[in-house]
Amino acid sequence: MSTSLHIEGLSVELGGTSILEGVSFTLPRGKILGLIGPNGAGKSTAIKSILGLVPCTSGAVKVGSVDVAEMDARIRAKTLAYVPQGAPVHWPLTAERTVALGRIPHLTPWQTLVQEDEVAIESAMQKADCTQFRERLVTTLSGGERSRVLLARTLAVGADFILADEPIAALDPMHQLQVMDILKAEAASGTGVMVVMHDLGLAMRSCDELVLLHQNKVLAAGHHNEVLSDANLRAAFGVEVSRWQDGGNFLVPKRTVE
């Protein structure tokens, strides 16, 4: 059983522009890691590079000691599951059929779903609170509803690691909290979860560790007390914040740095 996802000196260049430079951090199984940073810091590119969707110019991504680039495609798909940004959908499938796509890595060519797959699909839809959309075409759903369906598709994979790119961006407050609770529960069950977030307060309360990207590099990594320091927030986001505790840690930007 793999224990950690290692990102080692990852650098990416696209169109002659450096997007990431020497990015390194580790995601253990059983933990949720928040990937944060200002717009253009390279967060989505980092996720896509880890998945092999964007080529890296140097560095490596490893699960345990195995290089992800050398994995069989089916094994990689079983190991790393992806929640894309923006809930993109292109085919007029029902929500249930869309969630069922998460089971493809477990099937041989022309194999139909078996009971184990059906159980995984139903469980994923219940966790993501989208069973009510079961028979609706995903192309008719709102952005937030599609986000929950795509989260369910990812959960249905049963992967060792989940990489989620802004999974709460289109959701109302209740479902934002619900999705983060789902991801925390997945981490508690032994899955490694990496999530790109812009809500720093929710990231602080939801994630075991944070990685802050700034100017294409890792500015800080570790516990939120260290990563979300006043100095780091001024440097990365150009803001000052208010902090308080009320049964948890809260942080809200209050003004830009002059």
| pTM check: above 0.85 | yes
Query: Which residue type is seen at 257?
Result: V
Half-sphere exposure of 218 (CA within 13 A, CB side): 19
Query: Which residue type is seen at 209?
Result: E
**How far apart are alpha carbons 181 and 32 in whole angstroms?**
11
State pLDDT tens for residues 19-29: 999 999 999 99
Could you report the average pLDDT of every consecutive run of 10 residues in the chain (258 residues)? 86 93 96 96 95 93 93 93 86 95 91 94 95 95 91 96 93 91 94 96 95 96 95 95 87 87
Tell me the three-class secondary structure of the chain, residue by residue.
Answer: CCCEEEEEEEEEEECCEEEEEEEEEEEECCCEEEEECCCCCCHHHHHHHHHCCCCCCEEEEEECCEEHHHCCHHHHHHHEEEECCCCCCCCCCEHHHHHHHHHHHHCCCCCCCCHHHHHHHHHHHHHCCCHHHCCCEHHHCCHHHHHHHHHHHHHHHCCCEEEEECCCCCCCHHHHHHHHHHHHHHHHCCCEEEEECCCHHHHHHHCCEEEEEECCEEEEEECHHHHCCHHHHHHHHCEEEEEEECCCEEEEEEEECC
The structure tokens 């929500």 sit at: 95
**For the chain, how many structural domains are there in total?**
1
**How far apart are alpha carbons 228 and 241 in whole angstroms?**
10
State residue 165 phi and psi, 5-degree precision.
Answer: -100, 100
Nearest to 216 by CA among 86, 56, 52: 56
Q: CA dihedral defined by 235, 54, 163, 119, rounded to 10 degrees? A: 170
Between β-strands 4-14 and 58-63, what pairing exists: parallel, antiparallel or unpaired? antiparallel
pLDDT at 2: 57
State residue 100 phi and psi, 5-degree precision.
Answer: -60, -25
Nearest to 184 by CA among 170, 164, 212: 164
**How far apart are alpha carbons 158 and 104 in whole angstroms?**
11
Domain span holding position 74: 4-256
CATH assignment at residue 176: 3.40.50.300
